[in-house]
Amino acid sequence: MRSFRNRLLWLVWGFAVSLAFSGAGRADDTKGGKGAVEPATTTAKPAENKPESGLTDRERWLLDRVEQLERRVAELEAKGGKPVVEPAPVAATTAEAPTAAPTAMPARMATSSSAAMKVEPSRLGIGPKEEQSSSLSTSTEKQKPVEPFSDADWTWLNGNPRTKDIYWDSKFFTPEIRADINYVTDFNHPTDHSMGGSSELFRTSEVQLEQFGVGGDFHYDNVRARLLTQFGMYSATTPRNDPSPGHGQWDLVSAYRYLTEAYGGYHFNVLHGVNVDAGIFLSYIGLFSYYNFDNWAYQPSYVSSNTPWFFEGLRVQIFPTAHLKIEPWFINGWQAYGSANHKPGLGGQIKWTPKPWLNIISNNYGLGEDDLFIHGRSRIHTDNSIEVKYFDKPERDGLDKMAFSLTGDLGCEYGSGVSCYGNHKGGPKQSFVGWMGYNRFWFHRDLFGLTVGGGQINNPGRYLVLIPPINGESAITAATNSPYFTGNPGDPFKAWDSSITFDYMPRQYITFRAEYDYRHANVPYWTGKGGITPPGGNNGAPQFFACSNGSSSGQTSLGAAEAACGGGSGSVWFPDLRKNESFIDLSILVKF
């Protein structure tokens, strides 16, 4: 308070002195200099009334004001009050006068006080109350709903990218670039380097580009679109698992194989937002993301690896609150570019995040007829997941975070000779039961990650088992016949797997990953040392048995194939399939 009083006195005194000097300056201006012309006549100025003290009336008035201010300051000090506006720190710093020029201090004081007064009155708690109320009312009216899932950090979720910063963004376009490169060592050591039973890993003992994606999100005036490419193994392996291009004409595989996501739509400013999109968009069934960078592990268990990675159709994303999404789908079918028969698929997702440490997801699908060339057989499926972050100490250098995910799936097919309920007049039971669970540990402020997990399935009828690519077999050719790994009603398939994954994440945009997986099936399924490629390479007729010389027998039954190949069991070629598979995969994953 004493400092404030002293500064105030210096301010007033400086103002008075400046007035006195300015008056002297004006008097000097009236004096004629060299060559000046004296006016012929002058008007005498009235003399100012100076008392005996030598002070003018103005100076006396200023001193009276100073005394009044001193009395006011004394009253405030006696009451223990504080000035209404305290000098800003910058003003105090500026007000420090050099000791070599004490006469400059009042002028500096005036400058600093003037600068301090530029602070907005609303920040200081002063100013007309009516204006403040009006400002608050306008601010409330302009306040928008919270953007869905934006008020918490969800980068810990399995299936979510952990990137938080975008290097370059604009009002119109948000770019995205992804790169996924892996190297696998399969301990079965297949001679043809070919792996089966996975939608993530396809070749062993080679460096392979899994995916290179370039694109991003376009957004302007509520209109939205997204495009992301897929160059690499994904462009061949993902379309291969879709039977729908075999229904009718036009080459849907060639049309779409290089597109991961491609859709356009509109955002409606209702509730917490409503999006309507049409095109190719990712499937959420199975929790794991199609992009391995986003996941806790590289090779997910069967309830993720064997379920859809994409849909083509229409979706509506409704956000009633900032923590709830309801998303219905109208789609061509189960991971399908087209429709395998004549019925579209219907489905949807409900996603709820009631707490920053809890994520609950339910995906459901039905109605679609997804078995190529089999009319009247429908599929239903439910997929449900929960993710819980049960430990979070981000400031720790050791173990700083832990979370787990648990997923359970149920489904079946019914009609045209199969049933959901068991072996009765409707036909053999054709169902799917599976689960998977993973636990994730983060260390040293998320620099390292460790995941352990696995899962199990039981799929009689094998309608969701990934067909091994024997002799180039695909979902389309297998719909006609798959001689070496059949998918007939009632065919059994049970399998389980486990994995341990280590991640090194020096930057938010890159992951170095090492993983060990063990997988087991109750029937020969995984590629063995002899491989799954006929002598001389694929012969272009995977729906038929191949002869021992690699040529096609042209026959779908073994007896007829033996006869066509020259007779005897040795005349027909067979792939080397095993019940067990273990491998190590190393990968570099990048996302911008």
Whole-number average pLDDT of the chain: 82
Residue 181, pLDDT score:
97
Radius of gyration of the chain (CA): 39
> What percent of the chain shows pLDDT beyond 70?
78
Residue 26, pLDDT score:
37
Structure confidence by residue, pLDDT tens digits, 421-458: 876 666 799 999 999 999 999 999 999 999 999 999 99
> What percent of the chain shows pLDDT beyond 90?
68
- CATH number of this structure's domain 173-532+575-591, picked from the four choices 1.10.150.240, 3.40.50.10860, 2.40.160.10, 3.40.50.1110: 2.40.160.10
C-beta neighbour count of 168 within 10 angstroms? 8
Binned at pLDDT 50, 70 and 90, residue 142 comes out as low
Element (H, E) at 114: helix 105-116
Coil vs helix vs strand at 140: helix
Q: Are 12 and 4 in contact (CB under 8 A)?
A: no
pLDDT above 50 for 32: no
Say which residues have a Cβ less than 8 Å from residue 295's Cβ, sequence separation at least 6: 158, 159, 288, 289
Binned at pLDDT 50, 70 and 90, residue 34 comes out as very low
269 CB burial (10 A radius; 0-12, 13-18, 19+): exposed
- CATH 2.40.160.10 domain position(s) in the chain: 173-532+575-591
Residue 424, pLDDT score:
66
Residue 54, pLDDT score:
60
DSSP 256: H
Q: Which amino acid is at 395?
A: E
Instruction: Find the mean pLDDT for residues 191-208.
Output: 95
CA atoms of 181 and 515, how far apart (whole Å): 14
Q: Are 261 and 289 in contact (CB under 8 A)?
A: no
The number of angstroms, rounded, from the C-alpha of 303 to the middle of its chain's C-alpha atoms is 22
C-beta neighbour count of 200 within 10 angstroms? 25
Element (H, E) at 68: helix 57-79
Coil vs helix vs strand at 108: helix
